[in-house]
Every structure is written in C-alpha cells, then in structure tokens.
Amino acid sequence: MRDDDWQIPEHELHILAPKRHDYIVLIPVINEGERIVRQLARMSALTTLVDVAVVDGGSTDGSLEQLLTNATLRAVAVKRGAGRLGAQLRVGMAWALREGYEGVILIDGNGKDNPDAIPKFVAALRDGFDHIQGSRYIAGGVAENTPLLRHLGVKYLHAPLMSLAARHRYTDTTNGFRAYSRRFLADDRVRPFRDVLSGYEMHYYLAIRAARLGFRVIELPVERRYPAGAVPTKIRGAAANFRLFWTLLRTCAGAFNPPAE
C-alpha cells in the first residue's frame, strides 16, 4: 500500500521544531488539560533521545493553546476528520513515517504512565523488535490503584482472548504504552492506514497482526499508576464497555485484516 493510498483523516499539522532523532514518541490526547502539560514537563529530559509530538483529537478545554507553545514538542497534529483513537494514531504514525522515523513509541497523555521507560523502548527498537508492548503485569512492572473490574477484565478476558488470536502470550493488552518499528507499519500485509481502523481496534489489530505475521514481539515492564479516587478515562458506562468487548471479538476474528489482494 503506497503512502499516497493511505487513508488519513483531515487534520492540521503544526511543526514546532526540526527533526533530531530516529525515533519519535506520539501522545494521543483529548481534553487532558493540565495532565498533559505536567507529563510533557516530566518528559522534557528525554528529548535528548527522542522527538516528541502530540496528536490532539479535538480538545475543547483550552489545552491545545498551551501545547502549541510547549518547548518539549516537535509537532502538534490536530485531527479534524472522523474517528477516535485509531484515527488520531493514523494521523500521527503516517506523518512519522513520512518524516523518516525508524520507529514510533506511543504513550497515553493522561499522566498514568511513567515515561522513564521510554529509553527501554528505544533500545528494543534498535535491537530489531517490531511490536513492543508495555506491561504492568510482568517482572519489573507496576500496577497501582488499577480499578478492580479493569484489572480482572485485562487479566482474565482481554489478554487471554488476544493471546489466543495472536498465538503469542500477551499480559497487558489494553496498555497504550507500546512501540512499532517502521518495518512493521510499512509492511503491505499490515496496512494500518485504513479508515476501518478508527478506534481502539487499532491497538488490538496491530498487536495480533505483528505476532501472526512473525514480526519480533516483546513485552517490557512499565509503571501504570491510577490516581486515588476518580479515574481519568474515556471509557465510561456499560454501553461503552460492551462496544469495546464487541470490537475485541471482531478483531480477534480477523474482521480488520486487510482485504485479500
């Protein structure tokens, strides 16, 4: 699939600094307010190793104006077209590949993940791994204040189903802290730049596809800490959780695989 055939949502791109490194951290956000500002301050020292960009999904809380002047960032992309997380990731990853980056590291922008693990992801990409999944559930990982239902769902439903579909054992399949090599994202058997990958199915699909196609896959320990009290999340209510479960089942069944040539 040539890059001129990629299906990329309408977006605005703000370049704030030149390209300095071979790897970039992409942070998808929407209405994260001061959480993303604090996270970028924490990540500022990492800009000696990686470039950093934010892909905003259409924030209305005023945080975008702060991001456009943030010294940690190389770029800010603002998705204007249809779609949610998967659409944001298509905007960011397509731009990263066209800019010549050798790998993309993803981390959520809600402050729950410890970005100090990013150098380990860079090292794994340099060592030739293609899909690197952060996990709080392997040796060295930390899971703090994880809501009980989410913990049980990941451990006993989500991860087992995805592991079965991938034919590879995963332990933390909802964790957005992950990385992909250029080789994997650009492979014509993967084709991530399709409109059908517009939500959480993007994460699920890429994890399954990488293992099934024989790309090098690894989990790395990460720290994921939920604040005490109210949980910052975009997934609320029984209906949203059912849609996620249905998306998971469809992805495991191959519904988002590229059509046969």
What is the tens place of the pLDDT at every residue in 66-116? 999 999 999 999 999 999 999 999 999 999 999 999 999 999 999 999 999
Higher pLDDT, 233 or 240: 240
Residues 37-46 have a mean pLDDT of: 97
| Residue 120 near residue 46, CB atoms below 8 Å | no
Domains and CATH numbers, the chain: 3-252 (3.90.550.10)
List the structure tokens of 15: 């370049």
pTM for this prediction = 0.94
| Residue 118 near residue 223, CB atoms below 8 Å | no
Percent of the chain, pLDDT > 70? 95
pLDDT band for 236, please (50, 70, 90 cuts): low
pLDDT band for 228, please (50, 70, 90 cuts): confident
3-state class (DSSP) for residue 159: helix
pLDDT band for 260, please (50, 70, 90 cuts): confident
pLDDT band for 234, please (50, 70, 90 cuts): low
* Three-state secondary structure string covering 59-127: CCCCHHHHHCCCCCCCEEEEECCCCCHHHHHHHHHHHHHHCCCCEEEECCCCCCECHHHHHHHHHHHHC
Reply yes or no on whether the pLDDT at 233 is more than 70.
no
